[in-house]
Amino acid sequence: MILIVDDKPENIFSLKRILEINSFEVDTALSGEEALKKILKRSYSLIILDVQMPGMDGFEVAENISGYSKSKDIPIIFLSAVNTDKRFITKGYASGGVDYITKPVEPEILILKVKTLHRIYEQTRDLNDAQLALRAEIEFRKEAQTELKERVQELRSILESIPQIAFTAKSNGVIEFVNQHWLNYSPAQEKFPVAHPDDPNIEERWKDAISRNVPLEMEVRIKKLHEDEYHCHLLRTTPIKEAEVIVKWVGTFTDIEDQKKAEMRKDEFLSIASHELKTPLTSIKAYMQLLERAFSSELKTSKVSANYLQRAQFQVDKLHSLIADLLDISKIESGKLKFNEKVFNFENLLANSIDIIRQTNHEVTIIRKGTVDKFVYGDEIRIEQVILNYLTNAIKYSPDNKEVIVENSLTPEGDIIVRVIDSGIGISADKHAEIFNKYYRVDETSNRFQGLGIGLYICSEIIKRHHGSFGVESSPGKGSSFYFCIPVHTPETTLIKP
Ligand code: ADP
């Protein structure tokens, strides 16, 4: 839209006609003041301004327009008398396109100039728009970049704080960040830890996964730089995507050595347990058949039958205790191991337990050292189970020495302590911490002695539930001393239920 500003309506009329014929939209103002009001309200592509007007003249109007940011770029054509100085005309309006036309106006020249300035205006406007869009784009990118930097920083802080070995890599697989743990396993940031010689090469598997754009998941044994022992780790990589495109990879190595060992022990346990259960059953079956035959033949002397029965009974007892242990394990696991608590005399319990062992192990000498005539609040049968277990183990793991010492005293703290000391095969110090764990059996001796590796675990659970402590002192070839402590009963402790 073009604005014509002239105080003479007849001039406006003729100019308007010329422009409209040439398909321009036109608005008009009869004074400088009116023109300024209109310019403030709407935008024009060109202003044709009469220089000589009463009140505010054309120059003043132009000067005012140049002060408004909205309209400062609108081109102006001044209409002036022939003798007006051109320099004077451009004064005060330097930023927009400016031209002049002398009166009387020649239509062709007017249209030519209008078209040129109109085009300049449109080009300037397009340029300004493009510049604005460009600025917005730059701003947006800057923000996105800052946000990305913050996210990367955040991710790195997280990766530093986790217990795993962690790294990030570019989409092409080049490692760009590693956490502190990484450097315990690899001498350099860009190199993966070295895998066990029998395990797949990590670098190769990583490159393969990257080339196929798929996450990597593998179990691999790696070791710390200055250690010899390999630990099984789970390596897992995850892509970070932006608009469905992978921009980064995050990877972790998680130490799953303990998990692996526990799994292995459980498998081993199941196979041993089924074997252990089957052996007495087979014997029982055989004795039953023998008994059957003894009865059906004339040979049925009561002595022979009694012997078979006794042997079968022994195997039934064995089976019973195996099944009882297995049941205890499942009760502990489901939190259903029940205790029948009452106050009992500890000396009586210890003496009884030793008697039970003596009756079934005639070849063994059990030497008693010290007595504690105190009372305990707890489950008598379960504590007996612990003593029997310690004693049975002391005998079982001392194939060449059948002397076991049972020491009983009070600790400096006033708790009852029982020690079962044997002179058997012993246990090396590095195994002491694990000996009370579920399914744990010392590898070197597990083939020589029957067992499930659950007895000491059950003992530890029983003692814990009695607020006691337990442990072992032992060295290979020198025998072992297994101990447990439990609190003495006082009127106050009766009130403390586990
Ligand atoms: P089990 O005897 O059925 O294997 P336990 O839980 O009672 O299971 O014992 C766990 C392991 O601790 C045994 O396999 C054995 O290696 C070791 N152990 C226990 N008691 C003794 C002991 N008195 N002397 C030597 N080793 C022992």
Q: Over the stretch 311-350, which tens digit does the pLDDT of each residue have?
A: 888 888 888 888 888 888 888 878 888 899 999 999 999 9
Burial class (CB in 10 A: 0-12, 13-18, 19+), 228: exposed
Is 80 exceeded by the pLDDT of residue 264?
yes
Whether pLDDT at 440 is above 70: yes
Residue-wise pLDDT for 164-222, tens only, equals 999 999 999 999 999 999 999 999 999 999 999 999 999 999 999 999 999 999 999 99
Which residue's alpha carbon is nearest to atom 25 within ligand 1?
A: 426
Q: How confident is the model at residue 495 (pLDDT cuts 50, 70, 90)?
A: very low
Output 309 or 442, whichever has higher pLDDT: 442
Looking from the CA of residue 482, the nearest atom of ligand 1 is: 23
- Give the ligand 1 atom nearest the CA of 442: 16
> Across the chain, what does the average pLDDT equal?
88
**Amino acid letter, 146:** T
Place of tokens 């300037």: 124
Locate the ligand 1 atom nearest the alpha carbon of residue 436 and give its number. 6
Q: Which atom of ligand 1 is nearest to the CA of 425?
A: 25
Ligand 1 centre from 480 Cα, in Å?
10
- pLDDT greater than 50 at residue 95: no
**What average pLDDT score do residues 402-408 get?**
96
pLDDT at residue 87, rounded to an integer: 54
Residue 295 has pLDDT above 70, yes or no: yes
In angstroms, what is the span from residue 446 Cα to ligand 1's centroid? 9
- Minimum-distance ligand 1 atom for the alpha carbon of 422: 23
State pLDDT tens for residues 365-393.
999 999 999 999 999 999 999 999 999 99
Structural element, H or E, at residue 266: helix 257-296
Residue bearing the CA closest to ligand 1, atom 19 = 393
Residue 441 CA to ligand 1 center (angstroms) comes to 6
Q: What is the mean pLDDT of residues 43-51?
A: 89
Q: How close is the Cα of 266 to the center of ligand 1, in Å?
A: 16
81 Cα: distance to centroid of ligand 1 (angstroms): 121
By mean pLDDT, which of 28-32, 200-204, 290-294, 344-348 is the weakest? 290-294
**pLDDT at site 496:** 46
Q: Quick one: CA dihedral 275, 276, 279, 280, positive or negative? A: negative
Instruction: Count the neighbouring beta carbons within 10 Å of the beta carbon of residue 497.
Output: 8
Name the pLDDT band for 498 (thresholds 50, 70, 90).
Answer: very low
Ligand 1 test: best mutation among 265, 357, 427, 460, most atoms within 8 Å of CB? 427
Q: What percent of the chain has pLDDT over 90?
A: 58
Expressed in angstroms, the distance from the first to the final Cα of the chain is 93
Whether 65 and 36 have beta carbons less than 8 Å apart is answered as yes
Best residue among 329, 393, 428, 436 to mutate for probing ligand 1's pocket (most ligand atoms within 8 Å of CB) is: 393
Q: Which pLDDT band, with edges at 50, 70 and 90, does 278 fall under?
A: confident
Pocket test for ligand 1, best of 326, 357, 397, 439 (most atoms within 8 A of CB): 397
- Would you place residue 92 in the very low, low, confident or very high pLDDT band (cuts 50, 70, 90)? very low
Q: What is the DSSP string of 136-169?
A: HHHHHHHHHHHHHHHHHHHHHHHHHHSSSEEEEE
Work out the percent of the chain whose per-residue pLDDT is above 70. 94
Q: Ligand 1 pocket by C-beta < 6 Å: which residues?
A: 393-394, 397, 422, 424-427, 435, 440-442, 445-446, 451-457, 480
Split at pLDDT 50, 70, 90, the class of 497 is: very low
Residue 158 has pLDDT above 80, yes or no: yes
pLDDT at residue 157 tops 90: yes
pLDDT at 142: 94
Task: For ligand 1, pick from 385, 456, 478 the residue to mutate: most ligand atoms within 8 Å of CB.
Answer: 456
| 62 vs 172, residue with greater confidence | 172
Residues 433 and 437: their CA atoms lie apart, in Å, by 8
Give me ligand 1 centre to Cα 382, in Å. 19
CB count in 10 Å sphere of residue 77? 23
Distance (Å) from CA 435 to ligand 1 centroid: 7
Closest Cα to residue 217, out of 179, 251, 174? 251
Q: In terms of Cα–Cα distance, which of 386, 377, 385, 405 is closest to 487?
A: 377
Greatest CA separation found in the chain?
Answer: 158
CA atoms within 13 A on the CB side of 53: 29
pLDDT tens-digit readout, 118-134: 888 888 889 989 999 99
The answer to whether residues 120 and 97 touch, using CB atoms and an 8 Å cutoff, is yes
How many whole angstroms from 92 Cα to the centroid of ligand 1? 104
Give the pLDDT score at 185: 96
Q: In the predicted model, is pLDDT for residue 417 greater than 60?
A: yes
What's the pLDDT at 208?
A: 96
Q: Does residue 443 contact residue 495 with C-beta atoms inside 8 Å?
A: no
Residue with more model confidence, 318 or 223: 223
